[in-house]
Amino acid sequence: MSKIGIFVGTAGGTSMKVANALAEAFNIDEEDVINMEEDFDDVEEQLLAYDVLFLGSSTWGQGDLHFSWVDPVLEIQDDDIDFSGKTVAFFGAGDCKKHGEHFCSALGKLHKTFTGAGAKPIGFVPKDDYSYEYSFAEMDDKLCGLAIDEHNESEKTTRRIEKWIGILKSELGD
C-alpha cells in the first residue's frame, strides 16, 4: 500500500474538515496529517516521504495560496525538486460569490507546481455542480481537485467530499 500524507494550509477550518474526512476514509494516522502553518518544516523530508500526497489550501486575495504554502512552493520551483513517481490530489476552500473571479484558484496553483515537478495528478471533479466566474483550477471542463464553498454552498459539502473520496479510491485502486 502506498504511504499517504495530507498537507493542508487552512485558516477558517474548511480545508482541515476535508483533510480530516480524508484521514478517516483512508485510515491515515494523525502524524501524517500536516498543518502547513504549524507542523511543516521541510519539503524534502516531509513531502517527499510520501507516495501519495493530498494537498489542501484555502484561496486568498486574488486566487493566492494560503500563506503557509508560499515558501514550500517557491522552494519546489526554485530548487527543481523532483516529484516524479508521486501521486497528488488537491482540495481547498473558496467563495464562489464574493470571489467568483478566482474561485479556488489555489488548487490550480498547487497543480501547476507539483505537476511541473513531475507528480501525477488525480481527483479531478466535474465543474457542473459549481457556479463561479473563473478558476485557475479549471482544466478541460473539470476542476483539478475538490473545491468547497462553506460560505454559499455548505449544504453540498458533505456530498462533495464523499463523492471525491470515491473518485480518489477508484483512481488509487483502493
Q: For residue 100, what pLDDT is reported?
A: 83
pLDDT under 50: residue ranges of the chain:
none
CA distances from 26 to 21, 78, 162, 169, 173 (A): 9, 32, 12, 8, 12
Sheet holding 138-139, edge to edge: 125-126, 142-143, 138-139
- Determine the pLDDT at residue 1: 61
Q: What is 4-172's CATH topology?
A: Rossmann fold (3.40.50)
Domain boundaries, the chain: 4-172
Q: Please give the model's pTM, rounded to 2 decimal places.
A: 0.96
